[in-house]
Structure 1
Amino acid sequence: MTLIAGLGNIGKEYENTRHNVGFMLIDLILKDGGYSDVSSAKFQGELYKNGSLLLLKPSTYMNSSGKSLKAVNDFYKPNHIIVIHDDLDIAFGAMRFKNGGSSGGHNGIKSIDSLIGNNYDRVRIGIGRSDRSVIDYVLGEFDNSEMTQLNKILSHAKEAVLALANSGDIAAISSKFTLKA
């Protein structure tokens, strides 16, 4: 079983923010249909299942994402976990893959690492940096031209994430799907 978790913040006000690219990608995958809603209060998030694939959008807010992943991990015991998140240290338009490693200061990743360890695959979608404060920037919305580019990135990321879920070979997926800005 594979758990794919997209990180973000719940609420209408966060829907199109840079910090919600993980949620956006889960929503894009869900559009294919075939997923059953298996959400429960104990999972602290929206959880969908299709065969051996689980899709999770934690409802704990970004900084406590680990609580939701731990609850789903403890119940379903997936053998493969993929986490999708924004990354300030990667230019907008780029996407990279990684297994384990440091959180890079990302609070959602710190939360996950503290509760389940860091032995999971990460799909890092670049949002770049700004001269604005980090909080204002990551919680800021993409402008229209960025959204056009982001939709292309998310389409590519969807194909990559599903291929990674199928193969489990992060090196091969990274070689094939990494995007450079």
Structure 2
Amino acid sequence: MPPPRLIVGLGNPGGQYEDNRHNVGFWFVDQLAARLQAPLTAQGKFLGRVARRGELWLLQPMTYMNLSGQAVAALARFYKIAADETLVVHDDLDLEPGSIRLKQGGGNGGHNGLKDIQARLATADFWRLRLGIGHPGERAEVVSYVLKAPRREEQELIDRALDRCLLAWPDLAAGDYAAAQRQLHVKTVSP
């Protein structure tokens, strides 16, 4: 597999959303940018906060979750980055807090950010790093649930998952997705 050239962290811009479950993709990109010493800066042309390290781009769309594809498509088209060179990091209701799944392609699971990216790239063949946030139990509660901060014990599990993702970064950066999956797809242990 080709190594990723674009890492997209999904979330919503603005201080009121900063600690929300829906922003775990932003949290990962913030931590990766710090690790790579690649500061994120606003770039209107790409509708987001962007950092570059060699051939690698980091992106936090500032379009709000439901329009994430606008920013992804703008950067990917400008730099001719293929879908299989793109890794989208996002929250996942179907996974328990602390669980991680890495896969290429597939459905969007009702995630509006993924829906928009699929529509604007005209493919679902990008990679996804799915970070579990758990489910509120009732479909009607999903919107308010993702727009709230995790409980303390959930936050600890999510933080550990983010640490595991950073530990797997060398394999991800090399395009060795199978090795990254072996590191990431482990059973979570409660704090």
AA aligned to 1:106 is: H
* Corresponding residue number in structure 2 for 1:155: 163
Q: Which residue among 162, 166, 176 is the counterpart of 2:183?
A: 176
Per the alignment, do residues 179 and 20 of structure 1 end up closer, same or farther by CA in structure 2, a change over 3 Å counting? farther
Contact 1:49 1:55 in 2 (8 A): yes
* Corresponding residue number in structure 1 for 2:129: 123
4+ residue segments displaced more than 3 Å? 36-39
Q: Kindly state the Cα deviation for residue 8 of structure 1 after the two structures are TM-superposed.
A: 0.3
Tell me, which stretches of 5 or more residues in structure 1 are unaligned? Answer: none
- Does residue 1:26 correspond to 2:23, yes or no? no
- Does residue 1:108 correspond to 2:116, yes or no? no
Contact 1:58 1:65 in 2 (8 A): yes
1 CA distance for matches of 2:52 and 2:110? Answer: 30
* Corresponding residue number in structure 1 for 2:154: 146
Q: Secondary structure at the match of 1:123?
A: strand
RMSD value, Cα: 1.7
1 CA distance for matches of 2:181 and 2:36? Answer: 26
2 CA distance for matches of 1:161 and 1:71? Answer: 25
TM-score by length of 2: 0.87
TM-score by length of 1: 0.92
- Does residue 1:41 correspond to 2:44, yes or no? yes
- Does residue 1:99 correspond to 2:110, yes or no? no
* Corresponding residue number in structure 2 for 1:55: 58
* Corresponding residue number in structure 2 for 1:89: 94
Contact 1:7 1:108 in 2 (8 A): yes
Count of residues in Structure 1 that have an aligned counterpart in Structure 2: 180
Deviations 1:96-143 (A, max 9, x none): 011001001111000000011111110000111113600010111012
2 CA distance for matches of 1:9 and 1:38? Answer: 16
Tell me, which stretches of 5 or more residues in structure 2 are unaligned? Answer: none
Per the alignment, do residues 160 and 33 of structure 1 end up closer, same or farther by CA in structure 2, a change over 3 Å counting? closer
2 CA distance for matches of 1:51 and 1:148? Answer: 32
Q: Kindly state the Cα deviation for residue 56 of structure 1 after the two structures are TM-superposed.
A: 0.4
